[in-house]
Every structure is written in C-alpha cells, then in structure tokens.
Amino acid sequence: MIFSVRHISRVLIISTVVAFATSVTCLAAVPQATEDDYVIKNFRFKSGETLPELRVHYRTLGAPHRGSNGKVDNAVLIMHGTTGSGANFMRDIFAGELFGPGQPLDAAKFFLILPDGIGHGKSSKPSDGLHMKFPKYTYDDMVDVDHLLLTQSLKVDHLRLVMGTSMGGMHTWVWAERYPDFMDAAMPLASLPVQIAGRNRMWRDLAMNAITHDQGWNGGEYKQQPKGLGITAGILQLMGGNPVIAQRRFPAREQVDAFIAKTEEDALQHDDANDFLYALDASRDYDPSPDLEKITVPLLAINTYDDLINPGELGILEREIKRVKRGRAIVIPLSDATVGHGSHTKALLWKSELEKLLAETAK
C-alpha cells in the first residue's frame, strides 16, 4: 500500500511505503506454464553473423484472445534480466502476486509470454558448443528475435503490454521505440533509457575482465570453468543488492567470506563463463536516448532509489522521462521492503501501479 505520492516534474516519487517485511501476504498459487521452443532458420545478427538454427525457448500462460478487429488483445510480453531466464518470473514474489485469479495479470484473462533471451536459459547460447564462435548478439538482436517469436510462431499481432526487468527493462525501451504501434502500454523496470556508462559500465568491465584475464579461460576453450566466473558472480551479487540488507545479513566478516565463497562455488558448478561474458557484453551499444521522442505509447518506468546499477541519485530517469510524450516514472525510495536492484521482481512493491497502467490503457 502506498500512503502518499508527491510530484517532481513528471516523475512520481513514492514517499512512504508500508514495511511489507512485517506484514502477512496471502499469495495465490503460481499457475502452471507451458514450455516450448521456436527455431529460427538462418537468423542474421546485427554483426552480420548468422546461425543455421537459432533456438528460442519460451513459456506461456493462458491463451490468446482476438478482439472485434481480429487482433490479439490480451497478450503480455515479459522479459528477464542479464544471465536470467523466463523461469525467474515463475516464483511466488512475481507470479504469485500477478498471475493468479483476480490478480493484475490473471492468466485466465491474459496470454502471458516469457521468452528466454538469446544466450540465456534454454535458448541458443555459447555453451551449446560454439563457445566464442557464437555470434556476438546485442539487445537489438534479442528484441528482433522476440518479435519473430510473437509474430511468426505465436501469431501475436498486438500486445496489451510490454514489460521487463533490468535487461528486460532496457529491451522494453527498445520495443517502445521500434514498435510503438504494436502495444497498448509499456512498463520498464530497473532500467534507464541511456547508454551504459559511468559505474554501470565499470562493474560490467570488471566482471568481464575477471573472466577474460583468467588464464583458465583460454580464449573460451576451457575444460573446466575458469575461477574468474566465480568473481563475476560475486560482482553480480554485490550490484544486485543494497548496503542495508548486506550489513544486516552479514554483520561479521566471516559471514561475508562464507557467502562469497558459496556464491563462487555455485557459479563454478552451475553457470558458464562464456554465457556470462556474452550476456554482459550484449549491452555494449544499448542507447535509446536519441529516439525517446518516438515513443508514443503510454509508458510507466519504475526504479528503486537503492538500485546500485541504476542509482536514484543520478536523476537520469527524472530528466529523460520528460521527453516521452505519454511517459511517467516512479522512483521507489529505500525502505524495509526494497531489496536494491532485485526489487524489480518483488511485484508487491509496484503491482498497484501496474494495475493503474492497465486501467488507464484499457479499451
């Protein structure tokens, strides 16, 4: 519940948020998703490289519905963050708040589409065998592939909503610029509509260097995961949380050391260095800022002030949203409920705003 809201230009700053950590919330049972693959033949990447077969894995919930104009009117595209997958949205804190009966994205009413981006999840990726010979994909390629999945495979010719978290939030900005007539509304979470620079680029460079500067990486032809992958995973953990939670969870240095050791061990056992490297590098030419005026669809951007990747003190979202004709933004301040960058998947923080956006854009 939000108690009060104050306006700064066209940006809304939520000034008081209930401490959800101390409240009891009844979550709906998470609906079952259907999983499938779509194979694109001879896909040509922005780099000029091609793949004979590009596999796109995806999850869907619900069924498409066509309105009186013959177009699909209930499809929602939800895109995940860097190194993640569509499975990230099937947890209680997201699906349990949004996809159940009577909830904002009730799967009985909406057709929900959760793709695994190129290089992520069960979609085609470097670790399938090509290693560093895998095409050097970008966010534009990832958006193009999602558009093909919708239009060619799922026969979705219109979206009720495009939304995404972190990398998926950045993809949402790209979608809103490139396909403004394809959707009724857009909702990027935990992202900024400018190129990745400053500290955001610094940590990505450090994370990529941890892999490529490790002798065990061997140009991507390693027999076992290079230890630099563990360091990269630790950097991702550092940037994904907030300082208050870190201090609360690990008040003693021995606890911190044990957590980092476990993080590195898990990464070396379950993740892949080349996949991480490609996923981080895919943001290299992201920059929607020159074309923000092209966005004509209603757009609601939501960030949290304690997001170390997109910190509120930069004021970038407040500045750039003024260029979006029908755009508004919300920056949620630090509270007992926020969890840093990862707040993007804690739907309880912002689902009331999603409901408002859907109501405002209903036809």
pLDDT of residue 329: 98
Q: How far apart are CA 96 and CA 28, in angstroms?
A: 5
Q: State how many domains the chain has.
A: 2
Same domain, residue pair 74 and 116 = yes
Nearest Cα neighbor of 245 from 338, 136, 328 is: 338
> Over the stretch 88-121, which tens digit does the pLDDT of each residue have?
999 999 999 999 999 999 999 999 999 999 999 9
> Over the stretch 1-25, which tens digit does the pLDDT of each residue have?
232 333 333 334 333 333 333 333 4
pLDDT of residue 30: 84
Same domain, residue pair 164 and 208 = no
Same domain, residue pair 98 and 237 = no
Q: What is the mean pLDDT of residues 288-306?
A: 98
Same domain, residue pair 340 and 296 = yes
What CATH number is given to the structural domain containing 226?
1.10.1740.110
Q: What is the mean pLDDT of residues 317-345?
A: 97
Same domain, residue pair 257 and 234 = yes
> Over the stretch 33-71, which tens digit does the pLDDT of each residue have?
999 999 999 999 999 999 999 999 999 999 999 999 999
Same domain, residue pair 202 and 66 = no
- Domain termination site, one of 281, 316, 350: 281
Question: Which pLDDT band holds residue 29 (cuts at 50, 70, 90)?
Answer: confident
Same domain, residue pair 183 and 244 = no
Q: Half-sphere exposure (CA, 13 Å, Cβ side) for 50?
A: 6
Full-model pTM: 0.92
Residue 79 phi, psi dihedral angles, 5° rounding: -115, 140
